[in-house]
Chain A
Amino acid sequence: MKPPVFDYVAPRSVRETVDALGDPGRTAAVIAGGQSLLLEMHLWRRRPDLVVDVNRVAGLDGLGVDGGSLRVGALVRHAAFEAPQAVPGPLGTLFQQAVTNIAHPPIRARGTLVGSLAWAHPASEWCAVALALDADLTLRDSDGARQVPARDYFQGPHRTARRPRELITSVRFPLLSDDTGVAFIEHRRTHFCFATVAVSATLTVRDGVITGSRIGLVNASDRPVRALAAEQSLLGAEIADDLYHRAGRAAAEQDAAPVAEPFADPGYKRQAVAVLVGRALRRAAADQRSRAAGRTEGLR
């Protein structure tokens, strides 16, 4: 099918954008990459009266570090995170591992990270990463801006704290310290499928003791999940292999709330969560060791 009839505007500034979104008589949709929105419009599942194209808005394409955090503007494409130097430190490694799981190069050239957060699909890689890392979103309407932490933002499948008249202008991710190891692992049926389950994991180790861990689960519920029970099982423990297995079981049994899908019933997804969390933590631990070895190497 073809998209239903709508009006289209391409504002040049954030002010013009939020004014267009604030029109009370119309259902508006923001288009940035449009790789999900246009598909939904083809299928007539989304029928906006007005499409507000932000691709020509100045100042939304910024990607950079300031203070202790990475700021990602609304127009930064997925592909930006494929470059090894795009984001410094362990956060950059995590982003690079996560992004290659998102669709394929032509989709990554158009789709945006902020767009994924706006879309809030339960199988979105970025949504789970944002939740696990305590990202902070900036939403703006014609009255001003507000910050929403990721933990208050995701409310269900395609449901978020964003009000219809608001534009997400950027999102901030806290940078990860050098004593943190990271891993992102995804399981899906074929190259073309959405994630059956995926796991984003960080592990911070000081003097052989785990002092921090952040675990995000993709498609393990009707929204992104932070695996707090799994994280809790790791804190204060000395590094050991059986820890990761236990954390995986905790994530599967206490944190995940899987929704049945074709080819993946809840029991299967729980098993996949258990295995992937264990695997991701082992890989994060190895990453942390190699970073520590690299630093020692640098000191000699």
Chain B
Amino acid sequence: MKITLTVNATDYPLDVEPRRILADVLREDCRLTGTHLGCEHGVCGACTVLVDGEAVRSCLMLAVQCDGRSVRTVEGLAGADGGPHPLQRAFSAEHALQCGFCTPGFLMLAAGALDADPDLAEHPERVDSLVGSNLCRCTGYAPIRRAILRAAEEQQRLDLQA
């Protein structure tokens, strides 16, 4: 089936079988291997990407379902100058990763939440329920929570200045 995926603002005209999941097409056809596949059961969240701005499991979506839709992966987080996204800087500053396998999923989960919720910095409980979406076996979650809150606070400061 012929589809067009718009990934990180680049159009990818593709010919894919309906049985192929979005995560595999991103990795194998678009060659964007930043999106990781852990369980392929929708449990671990390593494959989380944004589809039309919303964080979803790319193992539980078919690529053909995303025809004409806009997908954002971890490769699309960097700014126009190629520098890291505020979330990436915060993850680094707070030591929010060790092995790094889950990190792209957590970053996209948090990126979706930051875009949707400008008041996230004032609601740590929302961050708690958010990080419960994905599995991390290294950090114990506390550094990930701190990193997301740190990025949310930075975004809030920038919003106030603007």
Contact = CB atoms under 8 A, between A and B. Distances in A.
B18 A39 contact: no
A55 interface: yes
B20 interface: yes
Interface string A180-192: 0000000000011
A223 to B, nearest CB: 23
B17 A109 contact: no
Interface residues of B, number: 31
Given A2-B24, A55-B65, A192-B43, A38 B60 contact: yes
Q: SS class of chain B's interface: helix, strand, loop or mixed?
A: loop
A53 B65 contact: yes
Contact of A106 (B20, B21, B48): B48
A8 B62 contact: yes
Interface stretch (B92-100, B127-135, B153-161): B127-135
Nearest to A5: B19
B42 A35 contact: yes
A8 B60 contact: no
A2 B48 contact: no
A100 B132 CA distance: 12
Interface stretch (B49-57, B79-87, B144-152): B49-57
Interface string B1-36: 100000000000000011111001000000000000
Contacts of B67: 10
A16 to B, nearest CB: 17
A275 to B, nearest CB: 24
Contacts of A3: 19, 21
Contacts of B113: 105
Nearest to B109: A106
Interface centre among B41, B60, B62 (most CB of A within 10 A): B60
Contacts of A1: 40
A152 interface: no
A106 B133 contact: yes
A34 B132 contact: no
A191 B45 CA distance: 14
Interface residues of A, number: 28
Contacts of B41: 39, 42
A53 B64 CA distance: 10
Interface centre among A2, A38, A55, A106 (most CB of B within 10 A): A106
B1 A106 contact: no
B18 A110 contact: no
Contacts of B1: 8
B62 A34 contact: yes
B42 A8 contact: no
B20 A38 contact: no
A261 interface: no
A51 interface: yes
Contact of B20 (A2, A51, A103, A109): A2
A7 B133 CA distance: 31
Nearest to B19: A3
B130 A105 contact: yes
Contacts of A268: none
Given A42-B40, A105-B133, A35 B60 contact: yes
A105 B64 CA distance: 23
A107 B64 contact: no
Interface centre among B1, B18, B56 (most CB of A within 10 A): B18
A7 B1 CA distance: 10
Given A35-B42, A39-B41, A107-B42, 16 more contacts: A2-B20, A7-B18, A34-B62, A34-B65, A38-B21, A38-B42, A42-B40, A55-B65, A100-B129, A103-B42, A105-B130, A106-B45, A106-B54, A106-B56, A107-B60, A110-B61
**Top 4 A-B pairs ranked by shortest CB distance?**
A8-B18, A104-B133, A3-B19, A38-B60
Interface of A: 1-8, 10, 31, 34-35, 38-39, 42, 51, 53, 55, 100, 103-107, 109-110, 191-192
